[in-house]
Amino acid sequence: MKPTTARFWMALFAMTALLWAGLGGQALAAPPSDSTQTVSVTASVGTTFTLTCDKSAVTLTGNPSDTKSDTVICTAKSNYTPSPWLLKIKTNQALTDSSISESIPLANFLHSSTGGSGTRDDSSDTAFTTSDVTYYTAHASEKNNLPGGTAITSTLKVNIPNNQATGSYSATVTFTMTVTP
């Protein structure tokens, strides 16, 4: 073999060796393993928790010994599922006419409610109090009641005493939606 030929074969061998090493010594030996990449996806769904009543004012007109009532429909919407929501109710005071310092006793100012599929505490006439009292506890199926919500109809009633002085008596009834018992 001529020296020139020998150098040629040596060079060819060296290049092949380098190419083999450059491919990692395996590319040509087996199929490539899977390559994976994970993407963490978080969907954050906001909390809907609203209470809307169809009236903000109610006027009951009557004479002594009369019973007068009106209804207020409050719609509770929630998608908070860890615990059921509750509806509470209270009045800030007895019905009072401050101009004559007269009031209608709390025992004569009543509420009751209907609607929903949860538990009701005022299915019959219940006297108002000045502290929050639960009158409705949502059913498990109502914890997430979107999109329509749950409508609860409250009847506000007053039994006007037979000796009630004429006047305009007022109070503010507050409905509260909460998950706090």
Residues lying near other proteins in the complex (CB under 8 A) are found at 40, 42, 45, 47, 49-53, 55-64, 68, 72, 74, 78, 80, 82, 91, 95, 99-100, 102, 104, 156, 158, 160-180
Say which amino acid occupies 126. T
Of 29 and 45, which CB lies nearer to other proteins in the complex structure?
Answer: 45
Name the DSSP letter for residue 140. G
Nearest to 105 by CA among 93, 115, 117, 89: 93
Minimum gap (Å) between residue 24 Cβ and other proteins: 20
Burial class (CB in 10 A: 0-12, 13-18, 19+), 40: exposed
By beta-carbon proximity to other proteins, the closer residue of 104 and 120 is: 104
Cβ proximity to other proteins: between 20 and 115 the closer is 115
Contacting residues for 162 by C-beta, under 8 A, at least 6 apart: 64, 65
Nearer to other proteins, 33 or 42 (CB): 42
**Shortest distance, position 52 Cβ to other proteins, whole Å:** 6
CB of 119 to other proteins, least distance (A): 19
Could you tell me the smallest distance in angstroms from the CB atom of residue 141 to other proteins?
Answer: 18
Instruction: Report in angstroms how near the CB of residue 85 gets to other proteins at its nearest.
Output: 8
- Least spacing, CB of residue 170 vs other proteins, in Å: 5
What distance in Å separates the CA atoms of residue 138 and residue 179, rounded to the nearest whole number? 10
Token representation of residue 15 = 């290049």
Q: Please, which residue, 120 or 154, has the CB nearer to other proteins?
A: 154
Q: Please give the angle made by the CA atoms of 154, 50 and 106, to the nearest 5 degrees.
A: 35
122 exposed, middle or buried (CB, 10 Å; 0-12, 13-18, 19+)? buried
CA–CA dist 101, 103 (Å, integer): 7
Beta carbon nearer to other proteins, 129 or 172: 172
